[in-house]
Amino acid sequence: MTSLADVSDILMAVRRESHLFQEELARRAGVARSNVARMETLARKDMSVPVLMHPVEAAGYDLKLIAHGHGPTLEDILAEQRMPDADL
């Protein structure tokens, strides 16, 4: 992850992988659907880590930092294999 655009793309991906529409994710996170939409489209320039964490956690994910050049761990590979493919 190198930019805010990457974070927005990841948020949208985890929401879709969790089979959630923006409305449901927003309800679970306790934020307005418009906030989720702005986070996913980068319209919200002041997105902070706490603001981002609510939807990420509501989608069932944790945000973790990984050093550049770090390869996937066995845990990462197994988790990726368990994720269902979905286009919401």
Domains for the chain: give ranges and CATH numbers: 4-82 (1.10.260.40)
The top-scoring range by mean pLDDT among 6-15, 48-57, 73-82 is: 6-15
As a whole number of angstroms, the distance between CA 77 and CA 88 comes to 23
Query: Hey, what are 59's tokens?
Result: 């989608």
pTM over 0.85: no
Residue 22 has pLDDT above 90, yes or no: yes
Q: How far apart are CA 16 and CA 36, in angstroms?
A: 12
